[in-house]
Amino acid sequence: MTFNLRLIPLLPFLGAAILMLFGRKWKRDTVLIVAAGAIAGSCLVAFDAFFTALPRAAAGGGLHDVVGTWIAAGSLKVDLAFRMDALSGLLCLIITFIGFLIHLYSSGYMEHDPDYPRFFAYLNLFCGSMLVLVLGDSLPVMFIGWEGVGLCSYLLIGFWYTSNANADAGKKAFITNRIGDLGFLIGMFLLYQYTGSLNIPEITAAAQGGGALMQPLWGATVAFWAALFLFVGATGKSAQLPLYVWLPDAMAGPTPVSALIHAATMVTAGVYMVARMHAVYLLTPGAMAIVAIVGALTALFAAIIGFAQNDFKKVLAYSTISQLGFMFAGVGTGNFDAGVFHLFTHAFFKAGLFLCAGSVMHAMGGSGDITIMGGLRKKVPWTHGVFFVCWLAICGVPFFSGFFSKDSIIGGAFGTEIFDAAINPLAGEHLAWVGKAVGVVLMLAALGTAFYMSRLYFLVFSGSETRASDEIKHHIHESPGAMVGPLVVLAIGAALGGFIGLPGGLLDHPEWNLLADRLRPVLGPEMEISRAMEIGFMVGSVVLALGGIGLAYLFYGGGYREPARKFAAAAPRFVQLVRDKFRIDELYGFLIIRPVKAIAKGIFFVVDRILIDGFLVGGLAWVVDLVGSIARWLQGGDVQRYMAVFAIGVAAIAYLATQPMHTFFSNALKVTVNGLTVDVDAHRGSIAANRVLDYSFDFDDDGKPEVTGVASGAHHVYPQPGTYTVRVKVKDPSWGTSSTLTQKVEVR
Amino acid sequence: MSFDATQLFAYAPMLILIGMGCLILLAETFAQGASRAGLAWLGIAGCVGALIAIVAGWAGAAEPTTHFQGMLVVDRMALFLDGTFVAAALLTLLFAPPYLREQGFEFGEFYAMVLFATAGMVMVIHATHLVSLLIGIETMSLAAYVLTGCWRRSLRSAEGAIKYFLMGAFATGFLVYGMAMVYGTTGGELSYAGIASKVPQATKSPLFYLGEYFILVALGFKVAAVPFHMWAPDAYEGAPTPVTGFMAAGVKAAAFGAIVRLLGSAFASPLLVFDFTGWASVLAVLAAATMTLGNLAAIRQDNVKRLLAYSSISHAGYLLIGVVASGLGVASAKPAVLFYLASYTFTTLGAFGVVAWIGNRSDERLYVDDWAGVGTARPAVALAMTLFLLSLGGVPPTGGFFGKFYLFRAAMESPQLHWLVVVAVVNSMVSVYYYLRVVVSMYFRDSTRALAPTEGATMRLGLLLTAIAVVLLGIFPGTVVEWAGSIALK
What local confidence, expressed as pLDDT, does residue B276 receive? 63
pLDDT digits (tens, 9 = 90+) for A700-721: 878 788 888 877 788 888 888 8
pLDDT digits (tens, 9 = 90+) for A421-438: 777 777 777 888 888 899
| Cα gap B448→B453, rounded to integer Å | 14
To test the contact with chain B by mutation, choose from A10, A616, A633, A642 the residue with the greatest count of B C-beta atoms within 10 A, namely A642
Asked if pLDDT for residue A393 goes beyond 60, the answer is: yes
Does the distance separating the beta carbons of A688 and B278 come in below 8 Å? Answer: yes
Note whether A473 contacts B: Cβ–Cβ < 8 A. Answer: no
Asked if pLDDT for residue A213 goes beyond 70, the answer is: yes
Q: What is the pTM for the complete model shown?
A: 0.69
List chain B residues with CB under 8 Å of A631: 293, 296-297
Looking at CA atoms only, how far is residue B161 from chain A in angstroms?
A: 12
Does the distance separating the beta carbons of A654 and B210 come in below 8 Å? Answer: yes
Provide the H-helix boundaries in A557-614.
562-570, 572-579, 584-588, 594-603
What local confidence, expressed as pLDDT, does residue B490 receive? 38
- Which member of A74, A642, A661 has the closest CB to residue B275? A661
Average pLDDT over residues A82-111: 89
Does the distance separating the beta carbons of B482 and A69 come in below 8 Å? Answer: yes
To test the contact with chain A by mutation, choose from B230, B330, B430 the residue with the greatest count of A C-beta atoms within 10 A, namely B230
To test the contact with chain A by mutation, choose from B277, B414, B479 the residue with the greatest count of A C-beta atoms within 10 A, namely B277
What local confidence, expressed as pLDDT, does residue B42 receive? 92
Residue A687 pLDDT level (bands cut at 50, 70, 90): very low
Average pLDDT over residues B183-209: 89
Q: Which of B282, B285, B302 is nearest to B293 (CA)?
A: B285
Residue A59 pLDDT level (bands cut at 50, 70, 90): low
Most confident among A27-36, A129-138, B200-209, B440-449 (mean pLDDT): A129-138
What local confidence, expressed as pLDDT, does residue A660 receive? 63
Average pLDDT over residues B425-441: 91
Per-residue DSSP letter, A377:
T
Average pLDDT over residues A568-577: 80
Average pLDDT over residues A125-135: 93
List chain A residues with CB under 8 Å of B273: 688
List chain B residues with CB under 8 Å of A80: 476
What local confidence, expressed as pLDDT, does residue B386 receive? 95
| Cα gap B184→B186, rounded to integer Å | 6
Note whether A626 contacts B: Cβ–Cβ < 8 A. Answer: no
pLDDT digits (tens, 9 = 90+) for A502-550: 776 677 777 777 787 778 777 777 777 777 777 888 888 888 889 989 9
List chain A residues with CB under 8 Å of B234: 637
User: CATH for A666-747, among 3.40.190.10, 3.30.1330.10, 2.60.40.10, 3.30.70.270?
Assistant: 2.60.40.10
List chain A residues with CB under 8 Å of B281: 656
3-state SS class at A35: helix
How far lies A82's CA from each of A2, A36, A68, A273, A284, in Å?
10, 23, 11, 15, 27
What local confidence, expressed as pLDDT, does residue B163 receive? 93
- Which member of A70, A623, A656 has the closest CB to residue B478? A70
Looking at CA atoms only, how far is residue A36 from chain B in angstroms?
A: 26
pLDDT digits (tens, 9 = 90+) for B127-160: 999 999 999 999 999 999 999 999 888 898 999 9
Does the distance separating the beta carbons of B296 and A631 come in below 8 Å? Answer: yes
Average pLDDT over residues A204-223: 82
Does the distance separating the beta carbons of B430 and A620 come in below 8 Å? Answer: yes
Asked if pLDDT for residue A679 goes beyond 80, the answer is: yes
Supply the angle between the helices A139-157 and A164-195 in degrees, to the nearest 10: 170
- Which member of B231, B273, B276 has the closest CB to residue A642? B231
Does the distance separating the beta carbons of A650 and B214 come in below 8 Å? Answer: yes
What angle is formed at CA A164 by the lines to CA A163 and CA A166, rounded to 5 degrees?
70
What local confidence, expressed as pLDDT, does residue B21 receive? 94
| Cα gap B229→B237, rounded to integer Å | 13
What local confidence, expressed as pLDDT, does residue B312 receive? 94
To test the contact with chain B by mutation, choose from A66, A653, A666, A667 the residue with the greatest count of B C-beta atoms within 10 A, namely A653
Residue of chain A whose alpha carbon sits nearest to that of B273: A688
List chain A residues with CB under 8 Å of B163: 639, 642
Asked if pLDDT for residue B351 goes beyond 80, the answer is: yes
Does the distance separating the beta carbons of A687 and B274 come in below 8 Å? Answer: yes
List chain A residues with CB under 8 Å of B166: 639, 643
Asked if pLDDT for residue A279 goes beyond 70, the answer is: yes
Asked if pLDDT for residue A58 goes beyond 70, the answer is: no
To test the contact with chain A by mutation, choose from B275, B332, B383, B475 the residue with the greatest count of A C-beta atoms within 10 A, namely B275
Asked if pLDDT for residue B1 goes beyond 60, the answer is: no
Does the distance separating the beta carbons of B163 and A657 come in below 8 Å? Answer: no
- Which member of B204, B217, B478 has the closest CB to residue A734? B204
Residue A686 pLDDT level (bands cut at 50, 70, 90): very low
Q: Are B429 and B344 in contact (CB under 8 A)?
A: no
Asked if pLDDT for residue A271 goes beyond 80, the answer is: yes
Average pLDDT over residues A88-117: 89
Radius of gyration, CA atoms only, chain B: 21
Average pLDDT over residues A28-57: 88
Does the distance separating the beta carbons of B233 and A69 come in below 8 Å? Answer: no
Looking at CA atoms only, how far is residue A638 from chain B in angstroms?
A: 9
Average pLDDT over residues B236-241: 93
Asked if pLDDT for residue A661 goes beyond 60, the answer is: no
Q: Which of A359, A401, A396 is nearest to A491 (CA)?
A: A401
- Which member of B205, B227, B430 has the closest CB to residue A734? B205
Does the distance separating the beta carbons of B206 and A658 come in below 8 Å? Answer: yes
pLDDT digits (tens, 9 = 90+) for A345-367: 999 999 999 989 988 888 887 78
Looking at CA atoms only, how far is residue B359 from chain A in angstroms?
A: 25
Asked if pLDDT for residue A690 goes beyond 60, the answer is: no
Greatest alpha-carbon span in chain B: 69
What residue ranges do the domains of chain A occupy?
284-560, 666-747
| Cα gap A122→A641, rounded to integer Å | 59
What local confidence, expressed as pLDDT, does residue A424 receive? 78
Binding-face residues of A in 710-739 toward B, CB within 8 A: 734-735
Residue percentage of chain A with pLDDT more than 70:
96
| Cα gap A128→B425, rounded to integer Å | 35
Note whether A25 contacts B: Cβ–Cβ < 8 A. Answer: no
Per-residue DSSP letter, A526:
P
Q: Are B46 and B14 in contact (CB under 8 A)?
A: no
List chain A residues with CB under 8 Å of B282: 653, 656-657
- Which member of A624, A634, A646 has the closest CB to residue B299? A624
Q: Which of A672, A450, A429 is nearest to A542 (CA)?
A: A450
Helix (H) or strand (E) holding A727: strand A722-732
Per-chain mean pLDDT for chain A: 84
Note whether A628 contacts B: Cβ–Cβ < 8 A. Answer: yes
- Which member of B162, B277, B476 has the closest CB to residue A68? B476
Supply the angle between the helices B130-149 and B206-222 in degrees, to the nearest 10: 30
- Which member of B206, B275, B485 has the closest CB to residue A734? B206
Does the distance separating the beta carbons of A72 and B478 come in below 8 Å? Answer: yes
Q: Could you tell me how far CA A103 lies from the centroid of its own chain?
A: 24
Residue A744 pLDDT level (bands cut at 50, 70, 90): confident
Per-residue DSSP letter, B1:
-
Q: Are A318 and A258 in contact (CB under 8 A)?
A: no
Residue B32 pLDDT level (bands cut at 50, 70, 90): confident
| DSSP β-bridge partners for residue A63 | A84
Average pLDDT over residues B329-349: 92
Q: Which of A403, A411, A384, A407 is nearest to A496 (CA)?
A: A403
What local confidence, expressed as pLDDT, does residue A683 receive? 64
Average pLDDT over residues A728-737: 74
Does the distance separating the beta carbons of B476 and A69 come in below 8 Å? Answer: yes
List chain A residues with CB under 8 Å of B174: 650
pLDDT digits (tens, 9 = 90+) for A456-502: 898 888 877 777 777 777 778 887 878 888 888 889 888 888 888 77
- Which member of A77, A631, A643 has the closest CB to residue B167? A643
Asked if pLDDT for residue A636 goes beyond 80, the answer is: no
What local confidence, expressed as pLDDT, does residue B489 receive? 43
Phi, psi at residue A527, to the nearest 5°? -80, 145
Q: Are B446 and B369 in contact (CB under 8 A)?
A: no
What local confidence, expressed as pLDDT, does residue B436 receive? 93
Asked if pLDDT for residue A664 goes beyond 70, the answer is: no
Residue of chain B whose alpha carbon sits nearest to that of A658: B277
- Which member of B205, B230, B479 has the closest CB to residue A642? B230
List chain B residues with CB under 8 Å of A687: 270, 274
Most confident among A172-186, B265-279, B344-358 (mean pLDDT): B344-358
Reported as half-sphere exposure (CB side, CA atoms, 13 A), residue A492 has a value of 7
pLDDT digits (tens, 9 = 90+) for B44-71: 999 999 999 999 988 888 888 888 888 9
List chain A residues with CB under 8 Å of B485: 72
Residue B486 pLDDT level (bands cut at 50, 70, 90): low
Residue of chain A whose alpha carbon sits nearest to that of B165: A639
Note whether A655 contacts B: Cβ–Cβ < 8 A. Answer: no
How far lies A51's CA from each of A57, A136, A231, A348, B417, in Å?
11, 20, 31, 20, 56
Residue A78 pLDDT level (bands cut at 50, 70, 90): confident
Does the distance separating the beta carbons of A643 and B170 come in below 8 Å? Answer: yes
Per-chain mean pLDDT for chain B: 90
- Cβ contacts below 8 Å, chain A against chain B, sum to 132
Average pLDDT over residues B428-451: 90
Residue A194 pLDDT level (bands cut at 50, 70, 90): confident
Average pLDDT over residues A271-290: 90
Residues contacting B447, CB < 8 A, separation 6+: B372, B373, B374, B376, B377
3-state SS class at B481: helix
